[in-house]
Amino acid sequence: MQTKPFRIGTRGSNLALAQAYETRDRLMVAHGLPEEMFNIVVMSTMGDRVTDRALSEIGGKGLFTEEIEQQLLSGGLDFAVHSSKDMPTLLPDGLVLAAFLAREDIRDAFIGRDVEKLMDLPHGATVGSASLRRQALLRRLRPDLNVIIYRGQVETRLRKLAEGEADATLLAYAGLKRLGRPEVATELLDPESFPPAPAQGAICIECRRNDERVMALLDAVNDRRTFEAVTCERSFLGVLDGSCRTPIAGYAFSDGEAIRFSGTVLTPDGSLYHTVEIDGKASDAKALGEQAGQKIRTLAGPDFFASWLT
């Protein structure tokens, strides 16, 4: 019987903490455990400390997870809570994404300072975003815009917007909802024309693969449909070298039996893009994502990806 508190690793942003608290609370309910049985351990990551450069320039998504994963592997943590879209497609040996909480809204939120809608921005307006996907989609829809790199926690980005560093920015609506600030969004973008990042809106829980005790604990809060959908999306991402150097969008929906997936890959300037759609059995989620990735590679041709792989 567990007598010591479970140690939950998380980054220290308000959003990361909200996700960790949500996970803790769901586990408390699922297992009838008191709050004292969970100890949230806040960790600083390189991705949090370096905010003046694009992630693609300093090492990619792994910068948000490396220190936490080292503590998982050493036994300093029992499990860790992450935003699924921040996770590299390749995990360190011995670690696994054991559970996904039920997914939140997948859409991107447009936040305008003087206008409410993306298409109402004046010619040459400045939009800040740290995401290559969002930057490419913005340039596809509005090639006239001045798109700049714009990193930092949610509160930092909103402050920069209020201070006039940009005319607008984009954030995941799921994050705004988890922070209790959905009203900040001035427009919710249609995922048909502005598709989300793979795994957007999903909280994942990472642990040691061989820790059967923790795996059993986490299984009680795992949402199977989210697990299948995100597995498909991450599989697609993995085939396409899904790091922060690649503008890739993808969304899968599982009803528990069938799954359908739509994926898009773009050049950074948004001028060229390819889309793939695929469906099949939910139990084949991983294989379907891989098939979709291979279809995109065939459709786009090797030259399309050349600049990403050099």
Q: Are residues 160 and 307 in the same domain?
A: no
Give me the number of domains the chain comprises: 3
Q: Looking at the structure, do residues 215 and 72 belong to the same domain, yes or no?
A: yes
pLDDT over 60 (residue 8): yes
19 and 142 belong to one structural domain:
no
- What pLDDT score does 58 carry? 47
For residue 279, the domain's CATH number is 3.30.160.40
DSSP structure string for 90-131: SPPTTEEEEEEPPP---PEEEEESS-SSGGGSPTT-EEE-S-
Residue 257 included in any domain: yes
Give 302's pLDDT tier (boundaries 50, 70, 90).
confident
pLDDT of residue 86: 86
Report pLDDT digits (tens) over 74-104: 999 999 999 999 898 999 999 999 999 999 9
Give the range of the structural domain holding residue 236, as residue numbers without chain letter.
224-310
Q: Answer whether residue 250 shows pLDDT above 70.
A: yes
- Give residue 304's pLDDT: 77
The answer to whether residue 86 is catalytic is yes
CA distance 71 to 24: 19
In a domain, 195, yes or no: no
Dist CA 178 CA 10 (whole Å) = 15
pLDDT attached to residue 300: 86
Q: Do 32 and 146 sit in the same domain of this protein? A: no
Residues 176 and 293 reside in one and the same domain: no
User: CA-CA distance, 23 to 44, in Å (whole number)?
Assistant: 19
Confirm whether 73 is domain-assigned.
yes
193 found inside a domain? no
Mean pLDDT, to the nearest integer, of 45-51? 54
Are 248 and 304 found together in one domain? yes
Whether residues 216 and 265 share a domain: the answer is no
Check whether residue 181 and residue 113 sit in a common domain: yes
Q: Is residue 66 part of a domain?
A: yes
Residues 88 and 207 reside in one and the same domain: yes
The per-residue pLDDT of the chain, averaged, comes to: 91
- In Å, the largest CA–CA distance within the chain is 63
pLDDT digits (tens, 9 = 90+) for 152-172: 888 999 999 999 999 999 999
The verdict on residue 305 lying in a domain is yes
- Mean pLDDT over 177-184 rounds to 96
> What is the pLDDT at residue 61?
55
Tokens of 183: 């009203």
So what's the pLDDT on residue 46?
A: 59
CATH of the domain at 170: 3.40.190.10
74 and 95 fall within a common domain: yes
Is 217 found in the same domain as 231? Answer: no
pTM of the full predicted structure?
0.90
pLDDT, residue 6, reads 97
Catalytic choice (86, 105, 167, 211): 86
Is residue 196 assigned to a domain?
no
Among 71-80, 175-184, 244-253, which stretch is predicted with the lowest mean pLDDT?
244-253
pLDDT digits (tens, 9 = 90+) for 214-236: 999 999 999 999 999 999 999 99
**pLDDT at res. 3:** 75
Residues 255 and 287 in one domain: yes
pLDDT of 151 = 75
Q: Is residue 212 part of a domain?
A: yes
Query: Which of 129-134's residues contact partners 24+ apart within 8 Å by CB, and which partners?
Result: 129/169, 129/170, 130/54, 130/55, 131/170, 131/197, 132/54, 132/56, 132/244, 132/245, 132/246, 132/247, 132/268, 133/197, 133/247, 133/248, 133/249, 133/266, 134/108, 134/170
The tens digit of pLDDT for each residue in 98-155 reads 999 999 999 999 999 999 999 999 999 999 998 999 999 999 999 999 999 887 888 9
